[in-house]
Each structure stands twice: as C-alpha cells, then as structure tokens.
Amino acid sequence: MSVVPAESTAASRRQLLDSPFLAALAGKRPSRRPVWFMRQAGRSLPEYRALRAGRDMLETCLDPELVCEITLQPVRRHSVDAAILFSDIVVPLKTSGVGVVIKPGVGPVIDAPVRTRADIDALPSPSPEGLEPVGEAVGSLIAELGQTPLIGFAGAPFTLASYLVEGGPSKHHATTKALMAAEPETFAALLEKLADFTISFLKVQLAAGVDAVQVFDSWVGALTLADYRRHVLPHTQRVFAEISEFGVPGIHFGVNTGHLLGAMAESGARVIGADWRTPLTEAAKAVGPGFGLQGNLDPALLLAPRPALEAETRRVLAEADAALALGASGHVFNLGHGVLPETDPGALTAVVDLVHNQPVGE
C-alpha cells in the first residue's frame, strides 16, 4: 500500500470547524464541553456483543465493514464528541506476521516471546500493505461521521514490548524490566523496531484521514521516572516527530503515570491524558502551561448509583476548570482508563448529557 504524502493529506484534510473536541485540543474555547470514552466502542454495548458473537477479535479489526459499524455504535448511542477507530494495538504486529492472538478475558498472547537479540532480529518489518483494511475502514468512517471527528490510535513502543517480552498481559512486567536493566542495548533495539510498527500503523490511519491520534503507553506507569526518561521517552518522541508533518493533534496516555506526566509532556504530544489517580490540577502543574489535558473519571464509578456518578462527574469538571486556570490550554472529558465490560450503557449516556449541559470552563 502506498502512503499518501503527508503534505497532501494535510492540505486536503477535512475541516471540522464546529467540533468541540478539536477546539479543545487546539486550545480554543469549545462551544460545549467535549467528551468521549476510551473503549467506548465495544464490550459494554449489547449491539457490539451481538455483532461480535463467534467472531475472532483480530479478524474483526481487519474487516472494514465491521470496523465501521462498531466504531459508529457509541456515536449513535451516546452522542459523544469523537469516535475512536475500533482496532487493537497489536494489529500491526499481526498483519506483519508476528504470531499473536487475543484471547477472550485475557488479552494479547504472543506465540513466541521476544527476549534475545536474535529474537528481535527475527521480527518482521512493518507491513503497510497488511493494514489496507484499516485504511479502508477509516475512509468509510470519514464519509459516515459527518462533523464528528475520528481518532486514530496506536500502542507506544514500551507497551508493545511488554506484551512481546512477557508473552501476554502482565501485572508486574518483571521480565520486561529485567531485560531493560540487564541488556539496555538489546532493549533499545526492540523499542526502536517497535517504534517502526507504531509509526507505520499511525501513518496508514493519518493518510486515510483521521482527525486526531492517541498513543497509548498503557503499562509505562510500571517504570520509574529515571527509567522512563532513559529507556522509553526517546522512542516515543520519535513516534510523535515522525507523524508531526500530518498536522494532526496528538494525545498521549498511560495508566498510573502521575509521576511521569511531566516527562510525557516532552513526547511531542500537545494533550496529555491523566488516569483517575492524579487530580487534573496536579496534572496541569506537572505538564506545565500550554498543554491540553484529557480525563479522568474512574471507570469503576460508572457502576455506582446515578447520584454518586453525577457528583463525581461534576467534581472532575470542577477540577478541569481549576486546571484551566492554572494554564492548561483545554480539557476533554474522558475516563481515567477504558470502559469496563459490565458498565450499563445508560450510565455513559447520562455522563455525556451531564457534561454537555455544564457551562464551558474558562
């Protein structure tokens, strides 16, 4: 697949002049408070579960018609201010020939864990051609979404590395951290190669027309600040640098990263996501003035009785206003991580309605 030059896609990119989401990302005053949810497309929706019944996750991610329908489902149901492409961070690995499956209730599982320099050298190169269905899905979505922006995404090199080294999901990432400490040059070679996958995945989406991107470094919060700066940040900076020519806003998010937010603001992203553990005022101080913030309602609170959920939503909005007063350039309401599978979709719709009906913060 040939990727359209960035300068041509930037020049021809659709203009969504009334998008509250894009206005907040750009540091402008939105017409209403924008809101979307990580993992809004998927497991909490009965229409999604009906569509996915009997279908493999990664095969679904490479079926443009299914991707389009699943991505649109939460936009129809909740009236969120942005859609996020239905996909998975391991899709570029799968399409390039890496043995990976997504096991229900477990997550990505790697056939042959990568733990030596020989393992790294044996990894295939990214295959943009294998990602053609993703580009096709993005194109269809742009035509369907009208004035609703579409967010593309990819996994950051460290989080991809954690799956490859551990062989699957891990609570402590012990094998990954041990490799990083014992063989830093080997670990750097792995992250360099995985950055190629991240960049390739993002460029396919950007060339097809996504309006913003989010880079998930979901598990980087397991690292110390010193290790993050030494071993991870340079590779994330390369990712954002190589997509900057597209002129599309970038969001960077990780879980349990309160101690890393200041360094994450050096990644090249202009908007930093905070999980629920870090108050937005503290996030604003950590990243400094001029950065947008995204977050940060605890996903578990969507399971609480409606009065408690509404009170916590208002609290987050008040913190967002205080963060703006501290110099944050904008705020997008979101969760502090993804929607839990047992969430009542009605709770999400209620949060959207509440956020949209609150006055826009200064």
**pLDDT per residue as tens digits for the range 112-140:** 999 999 999 999 999 999 999 999 999 99
User: What's the Cα-to-Cα distance from 272 to each of 56, 137, 255, rounded to whole Å?
Assistant: 32, 27, 12
Q: Which two tokens stand for residue 265?
A: 């603001």
- 306 belongs to the catalytic site: no
What does the DSSP assignment read for 5-36? PHHHHHHHPPP-TT-HHHHHHTTPPPSS--B-
Could you tell me which residue, 17 or 65, shows the higher pLDDT? 65
Q: Specify the pLDDT at position 17.
A: 76
Q: Specify the pLDDT at position 316.
A: 98
Name the nearest CA neighbour of 258 among 270, 269, 274, 271.
Answer: 274
User: What's the Cα-to-Cα distance from 202 to each of 7, 76, 223, 292, 313, rounded to whole Å?
Assistant: 15, 25, 25, 21, 32
At residue 12, does pLDDT exceed 80? no
- In degrees, to the nearest 5, what angle opens at C-alpha 30 toward C-alphas 71 and 27? 95
pTM reported for the whole predicted model: 0.95
pLDDT band at 5 (very low <50, low <70, confident <90, very high): low
Q: What is the CA radius of gyration of the chain?
A: 19
Q: Which two tokens stand for residue 264?
A: 């994450």
Q: Specify the pLDDT at position 8.
A: 47
- 88 belongs to the catalytic site: yes
- Give percent of the chain with pLDDT exceeding 90: 93
What does the DSSP assignment read for 272-305? EE--TTS-HHHHHHHH-TT-EEEEEE-GGGGGS-
**Do residues 210 and 151 make contact, with C-beta atoms less than 8 angstroms apart?**
yes
Q: Identify the active-site residue in 13, 52, 229, 230.
A: 52
Return the domain boundaries, the chain. 6-13+36-278
Name the nearest CA neighbour of 251 among 222, 223, 285, 211.
Answer: 211
Mean pLDDT of the chain: 95
pLDDT band at 362 (very low <50, low <70, confident <90, very high): low
- 32 belongs to the catalytic site: no
Name the nearest CA neighbour of 299 among 339, 346, 256.
Answer: 339
Residues 238 and 236: their CA atoms lie apart, in Å, by 5
Q: Identify the active-site residue in 33, 163, 217, 227.
A: 163
Q: What is the pLDDT of residues 94-117, one digit of tens each?
A: 999 999 999 988 999 999 999 999
Q: Specify the pLDDT at position 314.
A: 98
**Do residues 270 and 292 make contact, with C-beta atoms less than 8 angstroms apart?**
yes
At residue 2, does pLDDT exceed 50? no
Residues 353 and 82: their CA atoms lie apart, in Å, by 14
pLDDT band at 259 (very low <50, low <70, confident <90, very high): very high
Q: Identify the active-site residue in 13, 43, 229, 277.
A: 43
Topology annotation, domain 6-13+36-278 = TIM Barrel (3.20.20)
Q: Specify the pLDDT at position 105.
A: 87
Could you tell me which residue, 6 or 184, shows the higher pLDDT? 184
Q: Identify the active-site residue in 33, 48, 81, 88.
A: 88
Q: What is the pLDDT of residues 47-74, one digit of tens each?
A: 999 999 999 999 999 999 999 999 999 9
Q: Specify the pLDDT at position 9.
A: 54
Q: Identify the active-site residue in 39, 115, 238, 270.
A: 39
Which amino acid makes up residue 147?
Q
Q: Specify the pLDDT at position 15.
A: 83
